[in-house]
């Protein structure tokens, strides 16, 4: 980490920081960060009360005529929390974790209270210890349902049945250590023949399934408990000895003991710090992190400075304040310093882009509750806890064909930003701008006052848009384009429409979809 005090005077760094560490700055927040400094911002974010989803969902359900919570209720609450929540870093961290520990309605259905509770588990543990988070996720009812760990039983020779291998495999491959042994820089370790070395094999998966069998979603009075953790059933837990990746688990251990041993094994694995560092850097900062950035963040995961491993609070601070972040250095891809600068940053996924727009508009609900007016999954190709597979909306190393792939670089967000999704996203962003005049109780609206001063000149209005939607980071070429667009007509009746059109032009510009 760097001494952040030296960057607080740089307004551009403050703006870039808020686009990385939150869902986008609101009016006055860049100035406040510049005045108070980065350390004060972190202290404020780490101490801010969590904004939970389930209580809000139950409140909106209680005020409706529905028996069960609906998808548009849960998604509306997600938008409420990321647009209005003061715990921005916690909410952004929870969203990043939801793309690592994937649970999805495509697998559990419309169990919206359970899904909201699972998201709150991520919110609650966003700054806790990774071990605590991983253990709670493993026995959560939603994960038990999604990756079919609930009901997994020990081997039965009479029926020739075996423990379920679904979660045991994915918790290694996708959640903690990955497929290949990694060095401290995140590069695969090679054997004497130049081949990657697997982290585990099928025997390890089978023995992991023996470690984790005997857990069930609580079921009472003909109802499943989708909120509380799964319960152990030691009559269906394999009590014999097991060996996983060279780790011995003695005979006679119950479900909880084997669970703790499994969690400790993966938590303390050499790959885990690097694996988590790469995921968080890619979600917050750049799709192509430099080797040293990965190493430094992984080292903080290993030891927060007080001898504690897995401190997520220290880890995310390291992600956002690494020297490479301030310098804007990514992976060079063999192109030297120029490559390190050119390859820094990322393409924002649609939900982040739209969140930036909505927070800049300071969008509010018209009525007492937030309903999903974005139709996010259909419109943006993604929505909270709605990935189509356990592999998230995209794989971390996805890259579009062409120069990016040829250089061995990644740009995973391109996977979902198709031509159709871009069209839908642009259309919805236009509708969001028009929401200033909405009065329907289930809709959203924003205060247009700052953007409706017809006495403003072109230069002033471009400056306002630059400040509010780009944090002052708008390129000169886009500013010039905006000047020309606003100067085309002079009729007062057209000026009103042009002011609205200008917001649309700015927020659908390619650079609004990028983070640097």
Phi-psi region of 353 (alpha: psi -120 to 50; beta: other; left: phi over 0): alpha
Q: What's the pLDDT tens digit per position in 385-410?
A: 999 999 999 999 999 999 999 999 99
Residue reference for tokens 């780490």: 46
User: Angle CA(168)–CA(172)–CA(175) in degrees, nearest 5?
Assistant: 110
Q: Check residue 489 and give its pLDDT.
A: 61
Beta bridge partners of 515: 346
Query: CA angle, corner 21, sides to 18 and 26, nearest 5?
Result: 40
Residue with tokens 């479900």: 255
Only one residue has tokens 């690494």, namely 322
Output the pLDDT for position 297. Answer: 98
Tokens encoding 421 = 């999704």
What is the separation of C-alpha 377 from the centre of its chain, rounded to a whole number of angstroms?
15
Specify the pTM: 0.96
> Would you state the structure tokens that stand for residue 195, as one six-digit string?
């081949």
Domain edges within the chain? 129-268, 347-515
Residue 311 DSSP SS3 = strand
Q: Enter the tokens of residue 91.
A: 């909410």
Q: What is the pLDDT of residue 374?
A: 94
CA gap 370, 379 in Å, rounded: 18
The pLDDT value given to residue 488: 74
Distance, in Å, from the CA atom of 145 to the CA atom of 166, rounded to the nearest integer, reads 11
- Phi/psi of residue 400, nearest 5 degrees: -70, 150
Residue among 313, 389, 271, 318 at smallest CA distance from 133: 313
pLDDT by 10-residue block (mean), the chain, 516 residues? 70 97 98 95 98 98 95 97 98 98 97 98 98 98 98 94 97 98 97 97 98 97 96 98 98 98 98 98 98 98 98 98 95 84 94 98 96 95 97 96 94 95 97 93 94 88 96 97 81 75 95 96
- Position 6 scores a pLDDT of 65
């Amino acid at each position: 980490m760097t001494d952040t005090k030296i960057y607080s005077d740089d307004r551009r760094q403050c703006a870039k920081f808020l686009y990385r560490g939150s869902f986008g700055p609101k009016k006055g927040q860049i100035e406040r960060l510049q005045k108070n400094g980065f350390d004060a911002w972190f202290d404020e974010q780490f101490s801010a009360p969590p904004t939970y989803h389930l209580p809000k969902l139950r409140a909106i359900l209680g005020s409706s005529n529905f028996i069960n919570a609906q998808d548009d209720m849960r998604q509306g609450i997600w938008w409420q929390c990321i647009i209005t929540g003061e715990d921005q870093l916690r909410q952004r961290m929870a969203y990043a974790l939801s793309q690592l520990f994937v649970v999805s309605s495509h697998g559990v259905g419309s169990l919206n209270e359970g899904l909201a509770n699972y998201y709150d588990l991520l919110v609650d543990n966003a700054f806790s210890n990774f071990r605590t988070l991983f253990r709670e996720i493993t026995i959560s009812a939603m994960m038990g349902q999604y990756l079919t760990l609930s009901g997994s039983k020990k081997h039965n020779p009479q029926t020739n049945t075996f423990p379920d291998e679904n979660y045991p495999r994915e918790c290694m491959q996708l959640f903690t250590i990955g497929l290949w042994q990694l060095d401290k820089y995140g590069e695969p370790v090679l054997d004497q023949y130049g081949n990657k070395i697997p982290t585990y094999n099928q025997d390890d998966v089978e023995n992991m399934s023996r470690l984790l069998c005997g857990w069930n979603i609580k079921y009472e009075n003909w109802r499943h408990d989708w909120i509380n953790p799964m319960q152990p059933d030691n009559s269906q837990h394999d009590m014999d000895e097991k060996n996983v990746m060279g780790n011995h688990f003695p005979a006679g251990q119950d479900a909880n003991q084997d669970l703790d041993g499994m969690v400790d094994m993966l938590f303390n694995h050499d790959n885990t710090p690097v694996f988590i560092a790469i995921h968080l850097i890619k979600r917050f900062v750049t799709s192509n992190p430099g080797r040293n950035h990965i190493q430094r963040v992984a080292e903080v995961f290993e030891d927060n400075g007080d001898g504690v491993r897995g401190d997520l609070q220290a880890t995310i601070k390291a992600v956002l304040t690494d020297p490479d972040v301030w310098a804007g250095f990514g992976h060079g891809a063999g192109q030297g310093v120029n490559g390190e600068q050119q390859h820094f940053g990322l393409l924002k996924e649609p939900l982040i882009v739209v969140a930036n727009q909505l927070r800049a508009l300071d969008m509010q609900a018209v009525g007492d509750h937030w309903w999903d007016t974005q139709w996010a999954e259909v419109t943006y190709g993604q929505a909270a806890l709605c990935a189509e597979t356990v592999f998230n909306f995209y794989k971390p190393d996805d890259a579009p064909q062409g120069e990016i792939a040829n250089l061995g670089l990644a740009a995973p967000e391109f996977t979902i930003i198709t031509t159709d999704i871009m069209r839908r996203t642009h259309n919805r962003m236009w509708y969001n701008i028009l929401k200033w005049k909405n009065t329907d109780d289930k809709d959203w609206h924003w205060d247009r006052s700052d953007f409706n001063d017809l006495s403003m000149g072109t230069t002033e209005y471009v400056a306002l848009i630059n400040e509010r939607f780009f944090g002052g980071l708008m390129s000169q070429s886009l500013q010039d384009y905006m000047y020309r667009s606003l100067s085309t007509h002079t009729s007062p009746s057209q000026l009103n429409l042009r002011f609205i059109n200008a917001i649309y032009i700015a927020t659908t510009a390619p650079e609004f979809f990028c983070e640097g």
